[in-house]
Amino acid sequence: MQTADILDVIGAVVSQLKQYAATLPPVVHLSVVPTGVKPALEAIDAYEECVSRIRAQSAGTRYKNLNEALIESLEAFEAGRLLGAVQPLLALLDQLERMSLDREIEVGRIDEKRIGEYRTVLHKILPGNKPELDGSGQGL
């Protein structure tokens, strides 16, 4: 297993999150909050397939410790908790960078660029990263 393989799966998962985030209304009514707005079953199946594929491939490799974050993200996605699905993926990207710095894995320039792109997409999905909110909270 190579770093590119795990990044392919992360890319597929990030794509699922991005599609799901696009379907959410800008403001969720409080009556919906307890149960969340859940993604379509097809999206959940695709997400789960990605996570299962990487778990099978990473067994016995240096990447096996990334599985916990992927499972946490999947569980949050299934429950419709967007923030809970994004945070473990951001932590996973941080862990990949630490592994690279510690020379546990090799990350080439192309893979470094992909990590940065995925991080950017995930940050854009997070609440509070909307252009209409720029400057808010700074007072008059």
* Residue 61 placed within a domain: yes
Residue 135 has a pLDDT of 45
pLDDT in tens, 23-82: 877 665 545 444 557 888 999 999 999 899 888 888 888 888 888 999 999 999 998 888
* Residue 42 placed within a domain: yes
Q: Which amino acid is at 48?
A: E
* Residue 33 placed within a domain: yes
Number of domains in the chain: 1
Do the Cβ atoms of 125 and 76 come closer than 8 Å?
no
* Residue 108 placed within a domain: yes
* Residue 133 placed within a domain: no
* Residue 105 placed within a domain: yes
* Residue 64 placed within a domain: yes
The domain in which residue 50 lies consists of 3-126
pTM listed for this prediction: 0.80
% of the chain at pLDDT higher than 70: 81
* Residue 28 placed within a domain: yes
Do the Cβ atoms of 97 and 137 come closer than 8 Å?
no
Residue 128 has a pLDDT of 64
d(CA 130, CA 125): 9
SS3 content of the chain, % helix, strand, coil (to 5): 70, 0, 30
